[in-house]
Amino acid sequence: MSELDLFAQLPADSLLEGLNPQQRAAVEYRGKALLIVAGAGSGKTRVLTHRIAHLLAKKEAWPSQILAITFTNKAAAEMRERVRHLLGESADGMWIKTFHSACVAILRRESERLGHNSNFTIYDSGDSRAILKRLIKDLGADIHKLTPAGVGAAISNAKNELADAESYARNVDQADPVARMIAELFSRYQAELRRNNAFDFDDLIGETVHLFRAFPDVLAQYQHKFKHILVDEYQDTNHAQYALVRELAQTASLTVVGDSDQSIYAFRGADIRNISEFEKDFIGAKTILLEQNYRSSQNILSAANAVISNNFDRPNKNLWTDSGNGDAIVGFTGYSAHDEAQFIADEINKLHHDGTNYRDIAVMYRTNSQTRALEEIFIRAGLPYRVVGGTKFYERAEIKDAFGYLVAVNNELDDLATRRILNVPKRGIGDASETQLANYAERNQLSMRQVLAHVGDLGFGPKITGAIQQLSDLLIELVAMARAEPVDVVLRAVLERTGLIESLRASRDPQDEARVENLEELVSVAREFQRNNPEGRLPDFLNEVALVAAADEIDDESGTVSLMTLHTAKGLEYDAVFLTGLEESLLPHRMSFITPGGLNEERRLFYVGITRARKKLHLSLAMTRTTYGESDASTPSRFLSEIPTDLIDWRESGATRAMATSRYRSSIADTQGYGRASSDHETGSSSYGGTPSAKPKTEWKGAISSVRNNEGLQLAVGQMVSHSDFGKGKVIAVAGEGNRQTAEIHFGSIGVKKLLVKVAPVTVIEE
């Protein structure tokens, strides 16, 4: 029986049951190119998986002829599981992969054409920075204030545009010494990667495109293999990813799914034009809009629709649901960031008391710096939480050390891995010895691993020579073991025979106990990999771990509240969502005011945050926020004025309740564009979608009404004041001037309070 015949008995019509008309049209369409504009929560994964199953049920493709591409391993695993549920084990023949894992699979087979062997290492950003740090030091480039992170970002941006080191050097301003130095670092960095038989993350896609363009026979092989290509989250593709899809889709049927309203990764090189201009790129393409939402209540969707409608150049898409209006959105204006955090903690306690699991609650923010106040209050309140995207498991030093050994075993050309493990755990091999080994390697055109076997020629003393020889012998034994044994057995041997575990257990540092636990958890990861991949060996395990993304590390079963940036939140959903710091210069971020397209992208980011919520949505801001040690008055985010007032139930803390004045409201309108349209830099047109004189649909009163403005008030030591909450007090100290003046005021039994004068609810008591 052929592969295709396995699906002859699949009831194709049953795959259409339960789909709405637009979803059904997307599943059944058979043209050359299809764009599915999938609004948040509109069931795009269901459409993709049912489209795949329908192709097979109608005997229009074999499983091996289908390539489905996602952005995270988590999304790929979910798609595989859903297709397997529909089709059974035969679904395993399909390529359902991330962009990077698909390219790794291709490069493993074809890497020799590019001058690499198939055991190449994949460097993460930390590995890349380590190399760049050394190169910057070697070249003396630090005199230009160049940093590994800054140079790495420049190289990454170039690779995402498919520029190699040579073309980059040709196009830099030769009169600019910094630009020339970055070009030189780029060239040396690539030479180091090649010498180490390694690719970085950006290379995985760029080198695959280069492979296809340089070797037409390889491209033809994969074009023949894949008859149907499906790409998820197409709005997030950069130029290199776009080029990869274009190369493969020349002879295939192409389906892309995405939503320009959720394009939020321009800083990573994502190009919104890839989706907005899809019909220009693929002549004759059909577009289908999915607008029915299966996630959120109508009140949440109405807020999202109202906000995003102010962006120009987008599909006329309006999310709706038949599940009812749901609860009102809760808005909160706090006096300070800690006041805001306390409100969030109190609301989470109420939600949990009423039956919401902690894991179904998320707090989202624009910048990582906002977590400080949240964490302080959560700790005091005894709330279980985790910061998603903090120090990740695979970035911990002890985990990187263990992987250093595994990589050195797998790829003897990887000098970075060998350098890492030379003296881990400590075996008396210092920096001078490492430099001597590196110099010998360079003179003799050997890798660091190969030099270890020649240690007798380097003139070291017996102690260092013996230590290096033992390491070399151990690596040789581990190489043989890795060819025959499961990954978890190899890893356990690494941990025990190198002394990594023993040295940590012998330590008196309490943190080393946690490090031992992390290494034990790594063994568990390896065992789970082996269970899921019985035939898998060390190279396969290293592949899988190297491609783990931040979103993949989120454990849905964890009983903790998730704290995360709005960028990290993409693709996730929770029963209750708290969007915090809704203030000008935070959201929208201050950098968006000077970045072309920046305000539109910030609005899309807010839209993404809103649409993560299933049942409960909370919006909050603080009237004052401390930045770089200075407390400043905050201005409510312009995006709040775009939400109809009848959708939000605004609340305020005791410290803010009596702080409203009409003068402050008018000052905001005059300076920040409230009550009138404000222009986005990139278009010169109204952010409300009309002319510069256009008015918002509704007057916004919520958060502004709870903010005080003492414009021009300056306090002096000795003055008596009245505070709306604390009563009478005496000024005992002042600092700063103008809007930044702070005052320490003694309020009798309450004690001393330090207040920002501009917004404090105080009036001077005239004697």
Active site residues: 44-45, 232-233, 262, 612
Query: What secondary structure letter does DSSP report for 42?
Result: S
C-alpha distance from residue 760 to each of 307, 661, 708, 726 (Å): 31, 12, 7, 11
Q: Are 66 and 86 in contact (CB under 8 A)?
A: no
> Do 67 and 36 touch, CB atoms closer than 8 A?
no
d(C-alpha 176, C-alpha 441), whole Å? 34
What single letter denotes the amino acid at residue 124? D
Residue 221's CB is within 10 A of a number of other CB atoms, namely 14
- Cβ(648)–Cβ(326) below 8 Å: no
- Structure tokens of 343? 């409100």
Contact 46, 256 (CB under 8 A): no
CA distances from 413 to 121, 418, 447 (A): 9, 9, 5
Half-sphere exposure of 191 (CA within 13 A, CB side): 9
| DSSP per-residue letters across 208-248 | HHHHHHH-HHHHHHHHHH-SEEEESSGGG--HHHHHHHHHH
Instruction: Tell me how far the alpha carbon of residue 610 is from its chain's centroid.
Output: 17
Are 330 and 580 in contact by the 8 Å Cβ rule? The answer is no
Report the distance separating Cα 355 and Cα 348, nearest Å.
11
CA dist., res. 404 & res. 267, Å (int): 30
Q: Residue 317 corresponds to which amino acid?
A: K
Compute the half-sphere exposure of residue 514: CA atoms within 13 Å on the CB side of its CA. Answer: 6
**Burial of residue 526 (number of CB atoms within 10 Å: 0-12, 13-18, 19+):** buried
- Contact, 578 vs 615, CB < 8 A? no
Residue corresponding to tokens 């120090």? 391
- 605 Cβ partners below 8 Å, 6+ apart? 264, 366, 566, 567, 587
What one-character DSSP code corresponds to residue 729? E
Of the candidates 125, 134, 172, the one whose C-alpha atom is nearest the C-alpha of residue 152 is: 125
Per the CB < 8 A criterion, the answer to whether 568 and 550 are in contact is yes
Cβ contact 550:392 at 8 Å? yes
